[in-house]
Amino acid sequence: MLKLTNPSAETAQSRLENLLAVENVSPLKLDTPTLRRLVERTEDAPLFTHSYPFYFHIGPKGGWGADDLLTFAAEYGLKGVKCHLNASDSGTLVHLSPEKRIALGARTRELGLQWHVEVSSTEFNDLAQVVTVASDLQAESIRCYPRYSGHVSTILPRAIEDLRRFRRELDPESRFHLTVEQHEDLTSIELVQLMETIDDAHINLLFDTTNMINVGEQPVQALHVQAPWVTEVHVKDARILPDRGGWAQLCCRSGTGDIPLARLLAELLLLGQHEPQVRAIALEEEVNYFAPAYRFPNDPKDPFIPPRTASKTAPLPSVPMPVILADEFRHAKDQVVWVRDLLSKMHFLAKEALSEQNASLG
């Protein structure tokens, strides 16, 4: 007799494998220890909000300040806030008095939340300023990235000296976790060179899910290079666009772009055998943010990085600011829901796959 198969009898393991599959990337090994870690770590992932999804809210026409970011994090059950030092013209962090920052830090602790502070530089004066702000807030983490122009062979030594000076003069007691972000111009291998040279347990990498695109790297491969040093994350999606022989990123709503977020989040949560290696996953929806290619296949051995400003998003032409603000808030909320739904799906499938494995052994 012909045995009929039930097409709906797909296993949870195969469904999880399909969810995490990425073209031209080896499948993630889902053995029993891996599934157990995935079940545990998807249950309570360290999700933070970020100031950048509220780029226009905390601009001159939005009226938001740091306290509003904290309120958003509390209302949506997040672990804390990652806020850029200069995220607002008047109302955020660097522009607050020390007394107001101390009070903001006290409210944060009352809510059971955390502050992480970010700056788009590794220069001494900028790091000194962010240390002052982070100290007032009793923040746990500072993120930075080198934003120098010049040949890569000159940028790396300057960044190394910046980080060493930070440790010597600004944080000799290692009060803060300092993370260095790949920010569109340096390759993953170059960032690893920084980490290996610095060799400091409190200085690590922040992995951004799209910023490798601009140097011609693919997301999963970039993570595999950076993974031993990654302790924090920015989550956003983007369309990968050809640009003068290289690749640009145009950020979009999570789940609508070219970034394999399910696979990246799974691998990031799995880092660390006994304790989670990743301490913070910031939801950084940046709809319509554009960054051009900075590195190209035909670059010389020591390419030149042109001058650039910190990240900016241009408002869409002819779109009224009230509409931009409404869309921005909706996108930020939707990303929280989308990421949580994805983590819940991973959690369910990993738990079911474990049950399947146990049943097969029994």
Q: Is residue 197 part of a domain?
A: yes
pLDDT tens, position by position, 262-282: 999 999 999 999 999 999 999
26 located within any domain: no
Confirm whether 342 is domain-assigned: yes
User: What gap in Å lies between CA 19 and CA 267, rounded to an integer?
Assistant: 13
More confident residue, 358 or 203: 203
Distance CA 284, CA 287 (A): 9
Domain-embedded: residue 36: no
CATH number of the domain bearing residue 168? 3.20.20.150
CA–CA gap between residue 67 and residue 108 (Å, rounded): 9
Q: 110-154 pLDDT, tens per residue?
A: 999 999 999 999 999 999 999 999 999 999 999 999 999 999 999
Quote the CA–CA distance of 84 and 143 in Å, as a whole number. 9
Number of structural domains found in the chain: 1
Percent of the chain with pLDDT over 70: 96
Predicted structure pTM score: 0.94
Cite the DSSP H helix spans in the chain.
Answer: 12-20, 32-43, 66-75, 98-110, 124-137, 152-165, 188-198, 219-226, 261-270, 321-361
- Evaluate whether residue 25 is within a structural domain: no
pLDDT tens digit sequence for 205-264:
999 999 999 999 999 999 999 999 999 999 999 999 999 999 999 999 999 999 999 999
322 token code pair: 């009230």
Instruction: Give the tens place of pLDDT for each residue, 150-176.
Output: 999 999 999 999 999 999 999 999 999
Is 22 within a domain?
Answer: no
To the nearest 10 degrees (0 to 180), the angle between helices 261-270 and 32-43 is: 100
* pLDDT of 315: 83
Examine residue 80 and state whether it is found in any structural domain, yes or no.
Answer: yes
Predicted local distance difference test score (pLDDT) of residue 9: 66
pLDDT value of position 317: 86
Per-residue burial over 148-159, b if 16 or more Cβ lie within 10 Å, else e, is beeebeebbeeb
Answer yes or no: is 17 within a domain: no
Which range of residues forms the domain containing residue 301? 41-361
